Amino acid sequence: MEGRDDGGGKVMGLIEKATKSTAQEVDPRLLKAIKSIVRYSDSEVRLSAQTLMELMRHNHSQVRYLTLFIIDELFMRSKLFRTLIIENLDQLLSLSVGFRSNLPLPSPPAVATMLRSKAIEFLEKWNLSFGFHYKELRLGFDYLKNTLKLKFPDLQANAARIQRERQEREMKTKEILRNKFDSLRDSFGLFKYEIEVTIKEIKECMEIVQWRGDDGVPLAILDEEDFEEIRCSHLRQIRLDSLKQSEKVEETSENRVVFDVLREQCKLLVTKHLISVQEGISLLIRVDVSDNRTRDSMLKDLIDIRNNILAAKKKWEEAGFTISMMTGTHENEETNEEEEDIWEEDDGKVGTDSVKNVAPVTRTQQSDNSSLLSSSEAKKSNKASNTKKVGSTGGSLRDKLISEAPVMNWGSQLSNWDSTTEVRANYRGLELESHWGRVDQDAVIPAEKIAELNLQATVYREERTETPPCRAPLKKGGLCQRRDLRVCPFHGPIVPRDDEGKPIIQESPLDESINQTSSTTGTNQDMPMDETTSDSDPNQLARQIAKQALKNIREKDKEVMRKRAKLVKVKVKEHNQEVLRDAAIASTSRSNVIDEEFDRVFAARKNKKQTFSSMRRKKTTAKDRISQRLLSNRVKSTNPQQLGQGNDEKCRETSANQW
């Protein structure tokens, strides 16, 4: 009995102490102490309920506020406490919410509003968890909500909404994953094959390159024999590094081709295949499909592939090949040849030994200098050959396709070239809440849109052509350096000239065709050579004259031909006119008289017509008169040209299409 009283006193003391603070929340330690004591026995619960209700009547919002917190804590835990509190629920509510106009919440007003909102929140929470068991709770909640129209935070509805949204999002994600999985499954074989091919190629390239480097290895070993002499550890370190460096492959002009292939392939492997493999793995891990077997097998395959890729990567990294270097070379290649040196130096910096590094640099420089022009050309051809090499494994169809394919700039858009998968717009892989309002997590950018966004604008770049200099000899010596497109304002049309500025006479296309007909390609080739070599040759002169004569004759022939053609034209014209005239005569009534006998011989059935026309003959209309006059004129004009009449038939044959 005494102990209980003791405990009771303690509870009251604790509660009073807890509610005396000015903090926004009850001291958690005190709260814990209260809880542990109240848990001890029912009488404690009763006592605490009583104390708390008394404290709720305290005429200060802060005290009420803290008391309400303690009540909430105990309410959520003890059933007895709940029943005790609910007996006086209306009182508690009026004291905490202050909905009775005659019982407003006490000062301070700031805390009072907090008290009110907290009380409403607690009431809703209580109603959610225990409303089914306590009609009073339901009633109080209903009254405040529906009668007094107090605004409740509406926890349940919010929670339900959030839950629903999350579910929907998950469903959508699943759907997307499944689609991705399906597409991956469909393209898995090809994908795998491509990667295998790439890895194989890299391996081969590495073999080639390493074979080249074989010479260095014995050298290194040879160096190692001097190794004992070097005592200083620092020097030894340098030595070791240099040895390592020597193991690394070096790019020379000879194996540049191989290196280029290697670079390309490595880049492809790292930037595209490795990433897509990793994506595939994560996709397979996340996706939830009924077909677990294929998924597992695919997953296994993908992991193997990834390991292969990583192994390959490790290998080339061991060989002194780094991604940055590769990308560096790639850029350099495209921009400037000179900068390649810088890259080489960069490569050198990887090692600590500077002395050793000089050698490869100089070597490459030399090679560059020696064939600056040729190397760039070679590179271009290399590229072509690279692609061809790849194509040769893929088959002739691919070759053909590659020849047709447009040349694109390298970019990220190539990695999802032609893909039909949708891309999630707000997917970051991180569960981040946006500061700028609600974010639609399921937003999806359709594949067409992605394609549209990735559309590369290519600017037409005019191929720069070298405008040849005029190269006409100048009086003061030297050659004219003016570069005009066709005509030099000082020296006339630009013609190919030799080193001294003498024009190399080019044959006219007519001549060429003649030459072709005479099938003397050899002389055709000879001539410019001869001209450049010797100008003063008499033989040459004679030949030239002969040629000129030939030309003249041909020109004459041509003229004759042209005249003949003209004649034919004239004849055609005449013939046309004649036909016109005939037609005009036939259309008049007078002309029928001329044709009368002719008609009688040929067409007996035309008799009727004939009589018709004979009846109409006597009438001479104005039209007849005009036609008659026309006829007489024509007859006069045609008379002198009767000579060529015989040609008429020929003309008709040659130009049958005229009429």
Partner 1 sequence: MWKAIKDRETGRIRSNSFANRFKSGRILSLQLSNRKDFVSPHRGSVNSLQVDLTEGRYLLSGAADGSAAVFDVQRATDYEASGLIAKHKCIFTVDKQHDNGHKFAISSAIWYPIDTGLFVTGSYDHYLKVWDTNTAQAVVDFKMPGKVYRTAMSSMAMSHTLIAAGTEDVQVRLCDIASGAFSHTLSGHRDGVMSVEWSTSSEWVLYTGGCDGAIRFWDIRRAGCFRVLDQSQTQLGIRPPILKRTAVSSKFYSAAKSSLGGQNRLKTLQSKHTGSQSVKGSSSAKASTEKSRQKRIHPGMLSTLDRATAHYGVVTGLKATNDGMYLLSAGSDSRIRLWDIESGRNTLVNFETGRIQTNKAIQLDTSDDPALVFVPCMKTVKTFGMWSGRTTLMLRGHYESVNTCCFNSSDQELYTSGADRQILVWSPGGSVEDEMVQDEVAEDKDNWSD
Among 7, 33, 58, 134, binds partner 1 (CB under 8 A): 134
147 binds partner 1 (CB under 8 A): yes
Nearer to partner 1, 32 or 380 (CB): 32
Nearer to partner 1, 42 or 345 (CB): 42
Task: Give helix then strand counts, H and E, for the chain.
Answer: 28, 4
- How many CB atoms within 10 Å of residue 30? 17
Least separation in angstroms between residue 65's CB and partner 1 is 23
139 binds partner 1 (CB under 8 A): yes
Neighbour-count burial of 23, counting CB atoms closer than 10 A to its CB (0-12 exposed, 13-18 middle, 19+ buried): exposed
Among 133, 236, 286, 569, binds partner 1 (CB under 8 A): 133
Nearer to partner 1, 83 or 540 (CB): 83
573 binds partner 1 (CB under 8 A): no
101 binds partner 1 (CB under 8 A): no
Stretch of 78-86, 150-158, 415-423, 552-560 lying at the interface with partner 1 (CB under 8 A): 78-86
Q: Which two tokens stand for residue 99?
A: 């909905």
Give the integer Cα–Cα distance in Å for 63 and 56.
Answer: 7
Give the pairing of strands 492-493 and 423-424: unpaired
79-87 and 42-56 helices cross at what angle (nearest 10)?
Answer: 40
Least separation in angstroms between residue 147's CB and partner 1 is 6
Among 12, 30, 76, 445, binds partner 1 (CB under 8 A): 76
116 binds partner 1 (CB under 8 A): no
280 binds partner 1 (CB under 8 A): no
Q: What angle do CA 238, 242, 248 make, to 5 degrees?
A: 150
Give the integer Cα–Cα distance in Å for 467 and 177.
Answer: 59
Stretch of 62-70, 106-114, 134-142, 150-158 lying at the interface with partner 1 (CB under 8 A): 134-142
Report 466-495 residues binding partner 1 (CB under 8 A): none
Which residues sit opposite 487 in a β-bridge? 493
Nearer to partner 1, 137 or 284 (CB): 137
Nearer to partner 1, 32 or 286 (CB): 32
Q: What angle do CA 420, 424, 426 make, to 5 degrees?
A: 160
Enumerate residues 6+ apart whose C-beta is below 8 A from 294. 185
Q: What is the DSSP string of 326-391?
A: HHHHHHHHHH-STTHHHHHHHHHHHSS-SHHHHHHHHHHHHHHHHTHHHHHHHHHHHHHHHHHHHH
Among 17, 77, 169, 609, binds partner 1 (CB under 8 A): 77
Least separation in angstroms between residue 109's CB and partner 1 is 24
Least separation in angstroms between residue 97's CB and partner 1 is 11
537 binds partner 1 (CB under 8 A): no
Q: How many residues bind partner 1 (CB under 8 A)?
A: 25
Least separation in angstroms between residue 58's CB and partner 1 is 22
547 binds partner 1 (CB under 8 A): no
136 binds partner 1 (CB under 8 A): yes
What are the C-alpha distances in Å from 344 to residues 315, 357, 363, 448, 643? 21, 9, 11, 43, 91
Give the pairing of strands 492-493 and 444-445: unpaired
Least separation in angstroms between residue 94's CB and partner 1 is 9
| R_g of the chain, CA atoms, integer Å | 52
Least separation in angstroms between residue 8's CB and partner 1 is 19
196 binds partner 1 (CB under 8 A): no
624 binds partner 1 (CB under 8 A): no
Q: Which two tokens stand for residue 93?
A: 């509510």
Of 192, 183, 193, 185, nearest to 423 by C-alpha is: 183
Stretch of 76-84, 199-207, 247-255, 514-522 lying at the interface with partner 1 (CB under 8 A): 76-84
Among 16, 90, 422, 511, binds partner 1 (CB under 8 A): 90
Neighbour-count burial of 165, counting CB atoms closer than 10 A to its CB (0-12 exposed, 13-18 middle, 19+ buried): middle
Give the integer Cα–Cα distance in Å for 204 and 392.
Answer: 15
140 binds partner 1 (CB under 8 A): yes
152 binds partner 1 (CB under 8 A): no
Nearer to partner 1, 135 or 562 (CB): 135
Stretch of 54-62, 139-147, 336-344, 506-514 lying at the interface with partner 1 (CB under 8 A): 139-147
Least separation in angstroms between residue 106's CB and partner 1 is 21
Give the integer Cα–Cα distance in Å for 324 and 548.
Answer: 68
The 22-61 contact track toward partner 1, x by CB under 8 A, reads ----------x--xx--x----------------------
Asked whether 119 and 96 are in contact (CB, 8 A), the reply is: yes
Nearer to partner 1, 80 or 350 (CB): 80
Among 64, 82, 273, 491, binds partner 1 (CB under 8 A): 82
130 binds partner 1 (CB under 8 A): yes
Neighbour-count burial of 62, counting CB atoms closer than 10 A to its CB (0-12 exposed, 13-18 middle, 19+ buried): buried
Stretch of 70-78, 105-113, 423-431, 608-616 lying at the interface with partner 1 (CB under 8 A): 70-78
Give the integer Cα–Cα distance in Å for 190 and 195.
Answer: 9
Residue 497 DSSP one-character state? B
188 binds partner 1 (CB under 8 A): no
Under the rule (CB under 8 A), what is the footprint of partner 1? 32, 35-36, 39, 76-80, 82, 87, 90, 130, 132-136, 138-140, 142-143, 146-147
